[in-house]
Amino acid sequence: MAHPKDARSRLLSASRWRWYEPLLWAVAFALPALLPGHALIVNEIAIVALFAVSLDLVLGYTGIVTLGHAAFLGFGAYCAALFAKFIHPDPLLGLAVGMAAATVLGAVCSVTILRGSDLTRLMVTLGVALLLLELANKLDWLTGGSDGLQGVMMGPLFGRFEFDLYGQTAAWYSLSVLLLLFALARRWVSSPWGATLMAVRDNPLRAAAIGISVPSRLAVVYTLAAGVAGAAGALLAQTTGFASLDVFALERSADAVLMLVIGGVGWLYGGVLGAVVFKLLHDIISGITPQYWTFWMGLFLVVLMLVGRERLSPARWFKGGQA
């Protein structure tokens, strides 16, 4: 059995930032200024990366299989958009509202994932997303229905920085939120409490036998991950000025799963790396062959699985800095 001090040292080592990590984030923040014509794609990547990180918290760290994670993305998006349109256009207030609303929804829905098999959880989580999709469609007097919630105007960030058409302010805003929540999530999963999540993932019966409250761990991580997904949804609505029914779609959750397949589960950089590769491939391939981009994406995934992610991605270079 490992000595407690050795386990503590490993956790502390995993939570420390490696020398190259600030450089990577600095490059990301410099991209909207260096490549202003691509600021919008940087903003999209930051938002989907945050969504993928939120999914990794439940899938990679606790083994909760879900295809309905878009429920929290969409709920956060609509709450932030409605808040901006009818109450106050401040982006930070709207972000807090979207995140808080998704967190509450996650707490309510967490009871649905405490019992049953993986297939049961898969169907229940998908059902929640479909319920919210239909609810948003029926409440067209409030949400705009199938036309979406339009006319969402955001005020300047911190009262000074207007959201420009080129997307530079939006990109820096989304990157800042991604970095903040990524750092908090990393600190959390690298803590002793976070280490118990992996025990629950690997063997819930043994974890319960040594005194870990498995239901409470699952409920807490599901709730917090919902809040992070809600933040991604709020950013999506705020930076596009629009919220539509497709934020609840199955494809949103499936895309996040694909990002984790590409980047790797169980380490937070997997969501970020997967989002970068997925969005760039999507943008490049759809620009070349709009009709068949899904074929080439599927071929890439097949090759990735057959050859092995470690041979095709630099994940192994960074994984040492993540629990």
**pLDDT by residue (tens digit) across 101-143?**
999 999 998 888 877 677 788 888 888 889 999 999 998 888 8
- Give the best-scoring range by mean pLDDT among 64-73, 119-128, 199-208, 308-317: 64-73
- Residue 295's CB is within 10 A of a number of other CB atoms, namely 11
Per the listing, tokens 């600030």 go with 22
CA end-to-end span of the chain, whole Å?
19
pLDDT above 60 for 323: no
Task: Grade residue 317 by pLDDT with cuts at 50, 70 and 90.
Answer: very low
Domain housing 274: 4-321
* CA gyration radius, the chain: 19
Q: What is the pTM of this model?
A: 0.89
> Mean of the pLDDT values across residues 90-97?
94
Confidence (pLDDT) at 176? 94
Burial class of 214 by CB neighbour count within 10 A (0 to 12, 13 to 18, 19+): middle
CA distance 89 to 213: 41
Lowest mean pLDDT among 10-24, 26-40, 209-223, 235-249: 10-24
Confidence (pLDDT) at 206? 83
Give the CATH number for residue 85: 1.10.3470
CA distance 225 to 68: 12
**pLDDT by residue (tens digit) across 21-46?**
889 999 999 999 888 888 899 999 99
Q: Identify the residue with better confidence: 222 or 166.
A: 222
> Mean of the pLDDT values across residues 242-249?
89
User: Looking at the 3D structure of the chain, how many domains does it have?
Assistant: 1
CA distance 84 to 101: 14
